[in-house]
Amino acid sequence: MKLKDKYKTLEEKIDSIRTRETADLGDKDLSKIRELDRQWEECKSSGLQLIESAWNPFKFLTGVKKYAYGRVLEAFASHNILHGQYDLLEEEKYWSSVWDFRGPVDEASWKRGHNGLHHTDTNVLGSDIDLNHGILRVDHGIPWDKFHLIQIPLYLIFMYPKFLEKFNSQMMGTVEFYRNKLLREGNRGYALTHPEQRELTKKELIKANVKSEKIIRSWKKENIDNVAKRSKSSTWKVKFGLRLAEIITNYEIAMTIQPTHQAEEKYPEGYVPKSKGEWYFMQMETTRNYELDDQERLDYYGGLNYQIEHHLFPDLPHWRYMHIAREIKDLCEQLGIEYRHDSTRHQTFVRFVKEAAKYSIPDFFRHKLFGKSKLESQEDKA
């Protein structure tokens, strides 16, 4: 089958799935998000009680784990709600226009950067803001710098414990200032937050930084400091427990979101699909799924293990991805398209770490050890 015909078939089939699922939206979707809401509040409440009443480390850490479980549920649900997955339902509380992310995140910047730049130009060099988080280098479009040598320990030890804060800085553009100070060629090769793909002016940068810091301080005060002060237990113990829970939450988010993209195919700077079908194909080629054991784990990770389906249908409730995935996989087999997936989350994460390690070394040695990427080889032939 010709590529043009594949794109046409993709467009017809995927659009028909979207039409069917959208028409089916209703009470069961509302019931699902209400139940998740109840679950994360119950987990946070019972976790906090354990932290407060703990008289030994085991009980304390059990409370931290329970609280973190609720926070992860809440954070991934927030991600999905801000995609507009419940905007067509009758309960206004879960509409993207009024939802508070429940983390140190500016909702408007998130929608513009994540929903807009990332979900539109997935893995397009210089456009996809999720591709180049902080100083992370996972493509040849970014000039190599000595700081990339330490990017794996830097992210695992320092960046991931505060992933939501760092992600917020990325979305608001304040990270551009630090890249300019840290890297020899500054922001060259990185996607920028401004719609015109230019660096923020000094005035814009200061304004964004002030707003970002205010959001972070306000969130910590309300959700950690004030909760600890209101507790009848030791303030420092509760504060320590909540901070540990937030570190776990950030790790879970980082290790779910990042690995499902960065190790996949990249598209050249300025790439624009010529049709909706071609755009669908791009989403399949630049994202990867991994298997989870059951529905509970699917809810825990907000359905983002079905990253392919999430990118094809970002505004459909996540619990629908499980049955949609079977259709998409069959469609890929029918058209001879690779359906990228791993059997475990661990495999996807290891794939990402290998990719980050590969691009952490100078290109001369990378080419000698691993060869050139598919996109580099195409560019050489052009």
* Nearest residue to 175 via CA among 154, 199, 151: 199
pLDDT at 16: 98
Q: What is the pLDDT of residues 48-99, one digit of tens each?
A: 999 999 989 999 999 999 999 999 999 999 999 999 999 999 999 999 999 9
Which two structure tokens, joined as six digits, stand for 232? 């009848």
Percent of the chain with pLDDT over 90: 77
Residue 195 pLDDT class (50, 70, 90 cuts): confident
| Calpha distance 345→256 (Å, rounded) | 8
Q: Does 355 score more than 90 pLDDT? A: yes
Q: Does 297 score more than 80 pLDDT? A: no
Mean pLDDT of the chain: 92
Residue 2 pLDDT class (50, 70, 90 cuts): confident
- Compute the average pLDDT of residues 295-324: 90
Using CA atoms of 110, 115, 121, 126 in order, give the dihedral in degrees to the nearest 10: 0
| Calpha distance 378→207 (Å, rounded) | 41
Q: Does 363 score more than 70 pLDDT? A: yes
pLDDT at 299: 85
User: What sign does the CA torsion over 256, 64, 77, 332 have?
Assistant: positive
- Compute the average pLDDT of residues 32-54: 96
pLDDT at 197: 80
Which two structure tokens, joined as six digits, stand for 242? 């909540």
| Calpha distance 337→6 (Å, rounded) | 9
| Calpha distance 188→370 (Å, rounded) | 24
- How many C-beta atoms surround the C-beta of residue 251 within 10 A? 16
What amino acid occupies position 150?
I
**Domain segments of the chain: what residues?**
103-272+351-382
pLDDT at 11: 96
Q: Does 162 score more than 90 pLDDT? A: yes
The answer to whether 324 and 309 are in contact (CB under 8 A) is yes
Please name every residue paired with 342 in a beta bridge, in sequence order, or none if there are none: 290
- Compute the average pLDDT of residues 349-365: 94
Residue 329 pLDDT class (50, 70, 90 cuts): very high
More confidently predicted of 179 and 1: 179
Q: Does 295 score more than 70 pLDDT? A: no
| Calpha distance 305→325 (Å, rounded) | 11
The answer to whether 147 and 158 are in contact (CB under 8 A) is no
Q: What's the 3-state SS for the chain?
A: CCHHHHHHHHHHHHHHHHHHHHHHCCHHHHHHHHHHHHHHHHHHHHHHHHHHHCCCHHHHHHHHHHHHHHHHHHHHHHHHHHCCCCCCCCCHHHCCCCCCCCCCCCHHHHHHHHHHHHHHCCCECCCCCCCCCCCCCCCCCCCCCHHHHHHHHHHHHHHHHHHHHHHHHHHHCCHHHHHHHHCCCCCCCCCCCCCCCCCCCHHHHHHHHHHHHHHHHHHHHHHHHHHHHHCCCCHHHHHHHHHHHHHHHHHHHHHHHCHHHHCCCCECCCCCCCCHHHHHHHHHHCCCEECCCCHHHHHHCCCCCCHHHHHHCCCCCHHHHHHHHHHHHHHHHHHCCCCCEECCHHHHHHHHHHHHHHCCCCHHHHHHHHCCCHHHHHHHHC
Q: Does 293 score more than 70 pLDDT? A: no
Which two structure tokens, joined as six digits, stand for 1? 């089958």
Which range (177-191, 193-207, 291-305) has the least confidence? 291-305
Percent of the chain with pLDDT over 70: 99
pLDDT at 143: 95
The answer to whether 173 and 204 are in contact (CB under 8 A) is yes
pLDDT at 194: 82
Q: Does 130 score more than 90 pLDDT? A: no
Distances (CA, A) of 60 to 53, 133, 230, 231: 8, 33, 18, 15
- Compute the average pLDDT of residues 313-320: 96
